[in-house]
Amino acid sequence: MELNLTNKVERWGIYELMLNADESCAENFFSDIRLSAQFEHQLHTAEAEGFYDGNGQYCIRYMPRQEGVWKYRTSSNHSKLDGLIGEFTCTEASSDNHGPIEVKDHTHFQYADGTPYTPIGTNCYNWHQQSEQVQELTLRSLGKSPFNKVRMNVSPTADLLNRTYFSHLEERIQELAVLGIQAELMLFQSEDGGMGGINRLSPEEEERYLRYVIARLGAYRNIWWSFVNEPDDNRHNGSKKDWNRLARIIKEYDYGSHLLTILSPHRGYDFGAPWITHVSIKHTDVRVASDYTKQYAKPVIIEECGCEGNLDTRLGSLTPEELVCRIWEGHLRGGHVTHGETYLGDDELLWQLHGGELRGQSVQRIEFMQGILEDAPHHMTYSSDRLDAATLEVRGEYYLQYFGPHRFAFREFALPEGKYQADVIDTWNMTIAPLTQLLEGRFRINLPGKLYHALRIRKVSGCS
């Protein structure tokens, strides 16, 4: 038996244990050969399954969460793979490595090291299955965009355990990680109507498929799991019992505890299930974000509210103004709203499905919003005190209010003791106009009376 391994890996990096054996070990690997390794560091223990990677090679991947020396021991029903021991050193994470995303509280996300994270996502389902030229164009487009999360399918085609396909998928996930982008992988979503077989698996095949995906991809820190877009439309899995069964498999074998959810239409699923880390819904009325946060006490992402585009469908032909309005509204109601684009050009590529080039006008406005949110306190919460305007606030310190389709001529406020600076924000033209006078107590702010404006009020440091 030959071991091929590295001795050092940074925190939240990938330790890879390669086991070289003869080809006979590979026959019927998924049904006959079992392989895993137990990793230990002081009081921390975890077990990672291995997978066959072709040419007589077996691989076990592990993402260490603690610095120091880790020891491991393999376990297998094949004598050549069983009882192998070793160790590696987990070093300090590099400056751009903040670890996987986790839920901070009932509204927010953060990286494992505590760095704040606000999902600014886009849908690009099958970009990694296009021509090499289109894939490279997609990566360049993402690199110039504000997006830090991409929703994409794992395997919409027939050959579910094709190692060539998954090796390519890994490369793309790694390239997204370099760009600082999370990859939300839809595990049972098929864009071929289920003809490829993803929706016709037996329970045993489903478990084998999930365990393979987790063994192969679960060590990547920029991974999220999601089941499907429409849980009731999936041909094989339509019941809550089925999804709970599959969720138990993920929770058992995903030692990295990546985020896990299921996208569902409004009121279509019980997001109170303990395995669901955050609410994932599709709805055109983004104001429901605050309702879901209150109901489930989990972060809310509206993954599909419509797309900026020119298709002959209601949801595929939003104006950029409307999409930007929905995204601002949803974010300022304490949720997070994902971008979608469906402009059909001569190349017949749709960003939503194929990637390629971003053609719309909403992206730069989303980036403008992202900058404002990054400058704001990360612990802002939705305030229901003013139902006519979506508001995030840290009471007595910071207020961010969005007016959207309302053309208010003025707004009146009564704030806690202190002096405040106010800025009028034009979210479409991307301008910020500070008011020259400091405000305190009860006051009125005159507004332009135009569409798509917001107001930011911040307490002035050192003033009381």
Q: Which of 169, 263, 262, 264 is nearest to 222 (CA)?
A: 169
Q: Are strands 398-402 and 453-459 parallel, antiparallel or unpaired?
A: antiparallel
Note whether 12 and 151 are same-domain residues. Answer: no
Note whether 68 and 117 are same-domain residues. Answer: no
Task: Assign residue 118 a region (left: φ > 0; alpha: ψ between -120 and 50; beta: otherwise).
Answer: beta
- Domain carrying residue 453: 383-459
In a domain, 387, yes or no: yes
Note whether 246 and 359 are same-domain residues. Answer: yes
pLDDT in tens, the chain (464 residues): 445 567 999 999 999 999 987 655 545 555 678 999 999 999 999 999 999 988 888 999 999 999 999 999 999 998 889 999 999 999 999 999 999 999 998 899 999 999 999 999 999 999 999 999 999 999 999 999 999 999 999 975 656 778 889 999 999 999 999 999 999 999 987 655 554 566 778 899 899 999 999 999 999 999 999 998 766 555 555 678 889 999 999 999 999 999 999 998 766 688 999 999 999 999 999 999 999 999 999 999 999 999 999 999 999 999 999 999 999 999 999 999 999 999 998 888 999 999 999 999 999 999 999 999 999 999 999 998 877 899 999 999 999 999 999 999 999 999 999 999 999 999 999 999 999 999 999 999 999 999 999 999 999 976 55
**Total of domains in the chain:** 3
> For the CA atoms of 157, 162, 165, 167, what is the dihedral angle to 10 degrees?
150
Note whether 119 and 265 are same-domain residues. Answer: yes
The CATH number linked to 435 is 2.60.40.3950
Note whether 199 and 290 are same-domain residues. Answer: yes
Note whether 114 and 217 are same-domain residues. Answer: yes
In a domain, 96, yes or no: no
Note whether 119 and 264 are same-domain residues. Answer: yes
Q: Taking the model in full, what pTM does it have?
A: 0.94
How buried is residue 291: exposed, middle or buried, by Cβ count under 10 Å (0-12/13-18/19+)? middle
Tokens of 160: 């579910």
Q: Are strands 410-426 and 341-342 parallel, antiparallel or unpaired?
A: unpaired
In a domain, 174, yes or no: yes
- 37 residue type, one letter: A
> Rounded to the nearest 10 degrees, what angle do helices 320-331 and 362-375 cross at?
20
